[in-house]
Chain A
Amino acid sequence: SQQGEEDPQALSIQEGENATMNCSYKTSINNLQWYRQNSGRGLVHLILIRSNEREKHSGRLRVTLDTSKKSSSLLITASRAADTASYFCATYPSGGSNYKLTFGKGTLLTVNP
């Protein structure tokens, strides 16, 4: 079963614009992670935000987390054509064995040159 649900399912923007993707989840989490996937190949870890953090930055990436609303957002600033990919949020549940990373269905981002 998928816990995270990304919104929108697809996003098309022009190079230089900002891209915002949202993720909602259902259960309590230990941390939330964002991954990028190019052309159906392996996933690349982008950023991890812990449940006690509200915002995190990494280069052109900004992630926010609202545990009260069980939601997160990923902002990519000054997008480039190379940012074209699918983006997934993934959650680790709190408590128990933190071994299962649960992914959403992803947002397909297209950055047009």
Chain B
Amino acid sequence: ETGVTQSPTHLIKTRGQQVTLRCSSQSGHNTVSWYQQALGQGPQFIFQYYREEENGRGNFPPRFSGLQFPNYSSELNVNALELDDSALYLCASSRVGTIRGYTFGSGTRLTVV
């Protein structure tokens, strides 16, 4: 059973640029969620995808967008980067209909300068 993999591990971008982060879900999982974790804080829910559609969204502006592909991999896109977007971005997968914990990837550390 493979886990959740994220790429890249680290990324440095300039304010105003756009970034794409990638995630491969655990085998057998069909939902993917993205979380933002600022330094010293708990993860904050960005959105979840199921059947290639956004299934729920947290308190994040529209410049945060995502995609889920037929193989259940996913992308998180952030436009017009701001300094406050600097954080660890975590991807988590699960399977609809099961009550169990999510499987998280190791995250992408994004630094906006």
Q: Point out residues on A near B: beta carbons under 8 Å.
A: 1-2, 4, 30-31, 33, 35, 40-48, 50, 88, 90, 97, 99-106
Let me know if A45 and B42 touch, CB within 8 A. no
Q: Does B104 contact A (CB under 8 A)?
A: yes
Say yes or no: A40 contacts B41, CB within 8 Å. no
| Contact surface of B with A, Cβ cutoff 8 Å | 4, 31, 33, 35, 37, 39-45, 48, 50, 55-56, 58-59, 88, 90, 92, 99-107, 109
Given A41-B106, A48-B101, 7 other A-B residues pairs in contact with their CB atoms under 8 A: A40-B88, A41-B107, A42-B105, A43-B104, A99-B33, A99-B50, A105-B42
Say yes or no: A100-B88 contact (C-beta < 8 A), given A33-B101, A50-B99: no
Q: Contacts of B90 on A, CB cut-off 8 Å?
A: 42-43
Choose one: A44, A50, A103; the contact of B42 (CB below 8 Å). Answer: A103
